[in-house]
Amino acid sequence: MILELDKPFKKYKASIAHYGASEGWVIANREYTDEAYALAKSNRNPPN
| 34-42 vs 2-19: helix crossing angle, rounded to 10 | 20
Q: Where are the domains of the chain?
A: 2-42
pLDDT of residue 13: 79
- Asked whether the beta carbons of 8 and 26 are under 8 A apart, the reply is yes
- Give residue 1's pLDDT band: very low, low, confident or very high (50, 70, 90): very low
pLDDT of residue 4: 63
pLDDT tens digits, one per residue of 23-36: 888 787 888 788 77
Mean pLDDT of the chain: 76
pTM: 0.49
